Structure 1
Amino acid sequence: MNVSRIAVATGIAASSVLLLSGTAFAHVSVQPQGEAAKGGYATVNFKVPNERDNASTVKLEVSLPTEHPLASVMPQDVPGWKVEVTKSKLAKPLEVHGKKITEAVSKVTWTADGSKIAPGHFQQFPVSLGRLPEDADQLVFKALQTYDNKEVVRWIEESKEGAPEPEAPAPVLRLSAATEDEHGGGAKDAAAKDSKNSGHDEGTKSETASADSSDTTARILAIVGILAGIAGVAFGVLAGRRRAS
Structure 2
Amino acid sequence: MSTLIVIAKTPVPGRVKTRLTPPFTPQEAAALAEAALADTLRAARETDVEHRLLVLDGVPRTAWHRDFTVVPQVPGTLDRRLAAAFAQAALRDPGPVLLVGMDTPQITPDLLRSCLPGAEDAEHTEDTEGTDAAADATLGPADDGGFWCLGFREPRGLDLEAHLVGVPMSTDHTGRDQLGRLRAAGLSVRLAPTLRDVDTVEDADHVAALVPESRFGVRFRDLRQRLDVPAGTGPRP
Structure exhibiting the larger radius of gyration computed from Cα positions: 1
Calculate the TM-score normalised by the size of structure 2.
0.23
Calculate the TM-score normalised by the size of structure 1.
0.23
Q: Which of the pair is proportionally richer in helix?
A: 2
